[in-house]
């Protein structure tokens, strides 16, 4: 499926649905009910707000149904374990179910956010991206004690996007000590001589992408530690995330001002995207049944 050409106007690596208005305005789940996102709040004193001490997940929604909800929730539980947070699984599922019910049979993305202060929040909105993007190489020391955990502390990621934009690119590709890691909000797949590879979350401090796992169910994708030269030598580059399952890269910008143009989509990217789209369409989750018996969440 082609994404609707639409250039997001929001913050670096932001969420385009933030700008949507009218029928496409995002909805939130807060204090046990669905409401317009602009009316939802979190307590000022919540450490999730004060210190970014919180976790989240973002899940693709097609025709009102999630894709790969269970792997996303499994990762939410892993993130919670890494930060000593407790997930109320039934409240999370209820938030998602109620947001999906309110959203109807539309495409988009649904997020759940769980803070140190115990606030559970949900958000659903549209997720449209341009037909292709350019990436700026941003050298950054990427490892922290919680690298690879999907926390709300994305200020460093947002910093990387701004660095990339200063190079003239749309988004960043993080390179640490000459090794390509990931995008601030996505995974990267390199294609060379028809072979696909992606940075290995088992050996690098990056997020273990659910979308890469889905792609690996339909295509051979080697898990590697790609060098910057591998990136620059790629015939095609494609970005993957739950909300961008197969976004072609049309150029790589280097810090020294050089720029490498790429076909977008190239022939292999086109094949990958077709296979992934068919896989997603064939494995959408059953609509969850809202469970009103669960205790109310804050």
Ligand X SMILES: Cc1ncc(COP(=O)(O)O)c(C=O)c1O
Per CB under 6 A, residues contacting ligand X are 58, 182, 184-187, 206-207, 209-211, 240-242
Q: 40 or 109, CB closer to ligand X?
A: 109
In 3D, which of 67, 161, 73 has the Cα closest to residue 109? 67
Q: How far is the CB of 188 from ligand X (least distance, A)?
A: 9
Q: Which two tokens stand for residue 219?
A: 């295509």
Shortest CB 138 distance to ligand X, Å: 13
Q: Report the residue number, 128 or 182, with the smaller CB distance to ligand X.
A: 182
Q: Report residue 41: phi and psi, to 5°.
A: -135, 165
From the CB of 242, what's the least distance to ligand X, in Å?
4
Cα 246 to Cα 2: distance, rounded to the nearest angstrom:
10
Write down the least CB distance from residue 34 to ligand X, Å: 23
Of 74 and 166, which has the nearer Cβ to ligand X? 74
If you compute the radius of gyration of the chain from its CA atoms, what whole number of angstroms results?
A: 19
**Chain-centre distance for alpha carbon 220:** 21
Place of tokens 């197969």: 246
56 versus 103: smaller Cβ distance to ligand X:
56
Give long-range contacts, CB 8 A cutoff, 24+ apart: 266-274.
266/191, 266/235, 266/236, 267/236, 268/191, 268/194, 268/196, 268/235, 268/236, 269/191, 269/236, 269/238, 272/189, 272/191, 272/196, 272/215, 272/219, 272/238, 272/246, 273/238, 273/245, 273/246, 273/248
Least distance in Å: CB of 212 to ligand X? 6
Residue whose C-alpha is closest to residue 137's, from 229, 74, 37: 229
Cβ proximity to ligand X: between 169 and 297 the closer is 169
CB-based closest residue to ligand X: 211
| Shortest CB 33 distance to ligand X, Å | 26
User: Which residue number, 72 or 250, has a Cβ lying nearer to ligand X?
Assistant: 72
């Amino acid at each position: 499926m082609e994404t609707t050409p639409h250039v997001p106007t929001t913050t670096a690596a932001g969420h385009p649905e933030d700008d949507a208005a009218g029928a496409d305005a995002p909805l939130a789940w807060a204090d046990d009910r669905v409401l317009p996102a602009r009316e939802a709040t979190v307590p000022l004193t919540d450490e999730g707000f004060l210190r970014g001490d919180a976790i989240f997940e973002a899940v693709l929604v097609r025709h009102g149904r999630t894709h790969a909800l269970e792997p996303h929730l499994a990762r939410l539980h892993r993130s919670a374990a890494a930060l000593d947070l407790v997930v109320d699984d039934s409240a999370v599922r209820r938030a998602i179910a109620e947001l999906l019910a309110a959203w109807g049979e539309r495409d988009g993305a649904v997020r759940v956010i769980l803070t140190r202060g115990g606030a559970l929040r949900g958000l659903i909105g549209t997720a449209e991206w341009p037909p292709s993007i350019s990436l700026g190489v941003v050298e950054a020391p990427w490892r922290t004690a919680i690298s690879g955990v999907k926390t709300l502390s994305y200020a460093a990621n947002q910093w990387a996007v701004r660095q990339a934009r200063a190079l003239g690119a749309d988004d960043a590709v993080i390179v640490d000590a000459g090794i390509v890691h990931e995008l601030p909000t996505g995974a990267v797949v390199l294609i060379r001589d028809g072979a696909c590879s992606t940075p290995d979350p088992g050996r690098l401090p990056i997020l273990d992408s659910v979308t890469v796992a889905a792609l690996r169910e339909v295509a051979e994708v080697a898990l590697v530690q790609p060098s910057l030269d591998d990136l620059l030598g790629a015939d095609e580059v494609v970005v993957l995330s739950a909300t961008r399952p197969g976004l072609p890269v049309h150029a790589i910008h280097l810090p020294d001002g050089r720029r490498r143009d790429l076909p977008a989509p190239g022939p292999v990217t086109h094949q990958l995207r077709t296979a992934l789209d068919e896989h997603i369409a064939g494995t959408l989750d059953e609509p969850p049944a809202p469970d009103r018996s669960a205790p109310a969440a804050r």
